[in-house]
């Protein structure tokens, strides 16, 4: 009831974490990575989904706004803290100023 009355009005974004995906040993040679995506909502302009597999953590953002301000700030902060980051995007201008560390 509380969410129905005011939730969407105060809801800014969603973060969902699936955690580490574990597969049977026979499957691991055939799987490189997993992605987990949330469909962007009309209320929350930026959503984030996280999934880990093997030694990689995938952080996927989806948004309904054009600007990549949240993603840029998030990944820039990780790079500044020495976390290796590789940015992939389905648009050319999503995070053009983020330094990528291999």
Distance from C-alpha of 85 to C-alpha of 99, rounded to nearest angstrom:
8
Distance (Å, rounded) from C-alpha 94 to C-alpha 75? 12
Q: How confident is the model at residue 15 (pLDDT cuts 50, 70, 90)?
A: confident
At 75, phi and psi to the nearest 5?
-70, -35
pLDDT of residue 68: 87
**60-79 pLDDT, tens per residue?**
998 888 888 889 999 999 99
């Amino acid at each position: 009831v509380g969410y129905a009355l005011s939730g969407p009005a105060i809801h800014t974004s969603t973060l969902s974490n699936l955690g580490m995906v574990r597969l049977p040993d026979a499957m691991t040679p055939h799987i490189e990575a997993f992605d987990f995506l949330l469909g962007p909502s009309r209320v929350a302009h930026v959503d984030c989904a996280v999934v880990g597999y093997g030694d990689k953590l995938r952080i996927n953002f989806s948004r309904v706004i054009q600007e990549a301000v949240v993603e840029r700030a998030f990944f820039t902060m990780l790079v500044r803290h020495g976390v290796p980051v590789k940015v992939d995007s389905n648009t050319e201008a999503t995070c053009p100023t983020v330094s990528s560390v291999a």
